[in-house]
Each structure stands twice: as structure tokens, then as C-alpha cells.
Amino acid sequence: MSSARRDPRHRFGARFPGRRGRRTDRRGGFGLVDVMIAMSVILVSMTVLYQALLSGQILSADNKLRHRALQDASSLMEQMSVVPLPNLSATFAHDAPIAEFAGLHCPNQSVRVVYEDAAATTEPPVNYRVISTWTSTVGRPETLVLRGVRAR
């Protein structure tokens, strides 16, 4: 055998100059700790993003319900404007739920009319409030109040 084959520099020296007897063929890249930290950062950011998205959807659904309740209350006020003044309290009773609006567009919806002076609803001006109540998407009760005046 030749002495060149027994020389350790021949075996490692050409590929790894300055390193004798120890193989240092390490490849660059991410270690396990680096991957775990990156996954933790991604998990936290995805959780925050999901919470923001969920909150946005809930607010959007609540705003849609509020808009529908506003439309229903406005519709009732329009109906009240065409009823003759002497028949107003007979058609829309004081502080009683109006059956045609019960659960119409919102969950557990109730629409009622409250007259400021319940005894004097036949003489102008008649001040009233239309109160719409419903349940929001997260289950809490919501209320919308519109004030109106009937002058003739």
C-alpha cells in the first residue's frame, strides 16, 4: 500500500482544508428549534387574524340586523302616516306589540308604538315613539327607538 492512502490529509484534507480527522460536512438550514419558533409565530399570528375576522363578521351581522330593524320601524311610521288621526290609537295600540312585525326580519323581533300622551291621540300634535327590540347575533337584546310627530 502506498503511504498516500494512509495519510489523513489525503482523505479529509482535499475536501476540508484545515480540518483533520473530523468530518464537518454540515449543511446550512433550519434546525428544529428554528422551525418550532417559526411555527409558534405563525400560530399566534393566525389566531389573532382569525379573531379579527370573526369579530368583523359578528359586527357585520349585527349591523345588518340593526338596519333591518330600522327599515321595519320606518315602515311602521309610514303606515302610521296614512291612517286617519282619530283611528290612530285604535289601529296601533299604545305599548302593544304589532303582530305583523313579530319576528319579521330579526330574531325575536318586537315592534310597538308608545304615545307620549296615550289619552290624547285624536288631537294633533301626537308625539310617539316606535320601539323595535330584537336579539343580536351573540344573543344580547338590542333596542332601536325612533321618535315621530303626527301633526294632521
What rounded mean pLDDT belongs to the chain? 86
Does the N-terminal peptide bond of residue 86 adopt cis geometry, omega within 30 degrees of 0? no
pLDDT tens-digit profile of 94-119?
A: 999 999 999 899 999 999 999 998 88
CA 138 to each of CA 28, 102, 106, 133: distance values in angstroms, whole numbers, following the listed order: 51, 20, 13, 15
Cell output for 34? 428554528
Poorest-pLDDT segment among 9-18, 22-31, 112-121, 143-152: 9-18
Q: Assess whether pLDDT exceeds 90 at residue 120.
A: no
Alpha-carbon gap, residue 64 to 68, rounded angstroms: 6
Global confidence as pTM: 0.69
Coil vs helix vs strand at 132: strand
Residue that the C-alpha cell 359586527 belongs to: 59
46 band by pLDDT with thresholds 50, 70 and 90:
very high
Domain boundaries, the chain: 35-150
